[in-house]
Structure 1
Amino acid sequence: MPLHRAIYVSDAVGEAATSLLVLAEILGASERNNRRDGLTGALMRHGGRFMQAIEGRRADVDRLMDRLRADPRHQNVRLLSDQDVAGRLFPEWPMTLAQMTPAAARVLNGAGLDQLSPDRAETLLSTATQALTVPA
């Protein structure tokens, strides 16, 4: 099955920028929906922005991107990367939270999430999820 990965950055709106409850709701719904659709990925919230990687079949990734563009919890959705890939970065995670760890902060190196190249965005999300335990 050909795989596709999209990485986007958006500006969080209202409580989505700061509320842990809203973030937990987003992660819970994303995990359920992505499990259903065969998608995997990681979500980071940092500095009032979201960055998310979504992986799966092209049609499923595109369908999710359409839903995300209409989601009122964020605005200014900007694609950093939209490409076919050989494998998944997050194969065990229908959706996981990428934390700004010290190692991830070194990758970011003071740049804003929307200033990253596609390769650096992938590295940031991969680094930010390395300490996580794979779900059972």
Structure 2
Amino acid sequence: MPLHRAIYVSDAVGGAATSLLVLAEILGASDRNNRRDGLTGVLMRHDDRFLQAIEGRRVDVDRLMDRLRLDPRHENLRLLSDQNVAERLFREWPMTLVEMTPNAARVLNGAGLDQLSPDRAEALLTTAASALPIPA
């Protein structure tokens, strides 16, 4: 099956920027929907922005991106990377939250999430995900 990965950054709006409850709701719904659709990925919220990678079949990634563009919890969605890939980077997680770890901050190197190149965005997310335990 051909795989596709999209990485985007967006500005979090309202409670999505600050509330742990809203973030938990986003993650819960994303986990359920992504399991249903065969998608995997990670989400980072940092400095009132979201950075997210989504992987799966092209049609499923595109369908999710269409829904995300209409989601009022964020705005100014900018696609950083949209490409076919040989394998998943985040195969362990239908969706999980990654944090700005010290190693991830070194990748960011003082830049904002909205200033990342596609390669640095991918490196930031994979570095942050490397700090997570692999689910059993």
Task: Name the aligned partner's letter for residue 128 of structure 1.
Answer: A
Rounded to whole Å, the distance in 2 between the matches of 1:15 and 1:28 is 16
Question: 1:6-45 alignment to 2 at 5 Å?
Answer: 6-45=6-45
1:94: Cα distance to partner? 0.2
1:42: Cα distance to partner? 0.3
Question: 1:66-77 alignment to 2 at 5 Å?
Answer: 66-77=66-77
Which residue in 2 is equivalent to 1:60? 60
Rounded to whole Å, the distance in 2 between the matches of 1:80 and 1:114 is 9
Unpaired stretches in structure 2, ≥5 consecutive residues: none
Unpaired stretches in structure 1, ≥5 consecutive residues: none
- Misfit runs of 4+, over 4 Å: none
Rounded to whole Å, the distance in 2 between the matches of 1:107 and 1:131 is 14
Which residue in 1 is equivalent to 2:4? 4
Question: 1:45-124 alignment to 2 at 5 Å?
Answer: 45-124=45-124
Scaled by the length of structure 1, what TM-score is found? Answer: 0.98
